Amino acid sequence: MKSPKTSGRDCYAVVAPGLEQLASAELRSIGIEPGATEPGGIAFRGNDASLFEANLRLRTASRVIVRIAEFRATAFHELERLARSVPWDVFVAPGSAVRLRVTCRKSRLYHSDGVAQRVGGAITRRVGGVTITGAKREADDDAESEAPDQPAQLFLVRFAHDVCTISVDSSGELLHRRGYRLATAKAPLRETLAAAMLLAMDYRGTVPLMDPMCGAGTIAIEAALIARRIAPGITRAFACERWPGAPTKRFAEQRAAARTESLPRAASPIVASDRDAGGAAATLANAERAGVATDIEVRRGALSGMTPPAGRGLLLTNPPYGVRASAGSEVRNLYAQLGNVARAKCAGWTIAFLSADRAMEAQLKLPLTEALRFKNGGIPVRLMRAEVPAHG
């Protein structure tokens, strides 16, 4: 049976399928060499410091997990015996709460509730006073709703072809929950996906950025965080900080180091506008909570009335798809208007937007190419980009 060592653990950055290459590049940028890539994540070896760094700095990951045990079991008595050997006390303090997520595929032990009962029993046997708050089956990160004031240590138990893999979550709340987005608009875009869009467009804060359909302002706020080099997890806590024996002093030093790296202001303009007063108000409130309100110019106005900042920049937005907030001819007209406004007012700019429908893309009448694809709210989408022709 494999078990972890504090000097080097088998870690895994979980991402939305389609974002693996972006996350690999992010890992390299913070000094962590990525390992094998598979749909939905990237493996890497990490110690306590690199594990914390990944949670603190990765913009596209939804959580970071550590694989702590792997063994073969075809009967419950085998599972009970082997689960008791897992070093649960390294990750769970006496008297704390634990959540289990269990999946069973193509294994003789196919009853996930039975697996959860045996694993939960092994944990409570090894660590005193632990409460098992519940076990979810076949859940995914989109369904997670843990309240931050009721933290429970999550373990992921996966059976596949009679091999049991046990992992511990080091993140706690999902990493897209940066702590700033309390005010939302219709069909909000997850923070990790907004960051992925920006990174896919190679945005570094050196050119103007505009989102003319900003909703809750997620794209603009993530742009400001990138432009100012603010670590996305700088204001929140992680599950690994609660582990017994966690190097809390070292973690505090890493957090302080990240704060010293941030810039006092964004170097180029960031403009967020929305025709809906609620969207503009939500953007401003969220930007204030994120500490970047002075970096973003928030406007209320229709797409047709948008005025981009001077110079060539990036127009990046998440319009309605036609399957979610609006439908039919209204959405086709919106996409056509986006193309018209881009050609008229954003000559020489790069435009990029999320799309769920090739017919809608055609309304822009621009030479589009695909930059990224993933799912947003369960809807398959593509990030499409184009260089708007310069006048003359």
pLDDT attached to residue 8: 83
DSSP string, 5-39: BTTBEEEEEEE-TT-HHHHHHHHHHTT-----EET
Q: Per mean pLDDT, which range of 138-142, 164-168, 383-387 is the poorest?
A: 138-142
pLDDT attached to residue 1: 43
> What share of the chain in percent tops pLDDT 90?
86
pLDDT attached to residue 327: 57
Q: Is 102:206 a contact under the CB 8 Å cutoff?
A: no
Task: For the beta carbon of residue 149, count every other beta carbon within 10 angstroms.
Answer: 5
pLDDT tens-digit map of 376-392: 989 999 999 999 998 75
- Beta strand 270-274 pairing with 296-300: parallel
- How sure is the predictor about 321, in pLDDT bands with cuts at 50, 70 and 90? confident
pLDDT attached to residue 180: 95
pLDDT attached to residue 186: 62
Residues whose CB falls within 8 Å of the CB of residue 368, separated by 6 or more in sequence, listed in order: 361, 384, 385, 386
- How sure is the predictor about 151, in pLDDT bands with cuts at 50, 70 and 90? confident
- Residue 196 C-alpha from the chain's centroid: 8
More confident residue, 143 or 220: 220
pLDDT attached to residue 182: 83
- How sure is the predictor about 55, in pLDDT bands with cuts at 50, 70 and 90? very high
pLDDT attached to residue 188: 78
pLDDT attached to residue 141: 64
- Beta bridge partner(s), residue 105: 160
CA gap 260, 289 in Å, rounded: 19
Residue type, 160: A
Q: Is 60:15 a contact under the CB 8 Å cutoff?
A: yes
State mean pLDDT over 158-187.
Answer: 90
- How sure is the predictor about 45, in pLDDT bands with cuts at 50, 70 and 90? very high
Among 50, 242, 68, 64, CA closest to 153: 242
- How sure is the predictor about 7, in pLDDT bands with cuts at 50, 70 and 90? low
pLDDT tens-digit map of 323-372: 644 456 889 999 999 999 999 999 999 999 999 999 999 999 999 999 99
pLDDT tens-digit map of 222-254: 999 999 999 999 999 999 999 999 999 999 999
State mean pLDDT over 196-201.
Answer: 98
- Beta bridge partner(s), residue 100: 135, 155
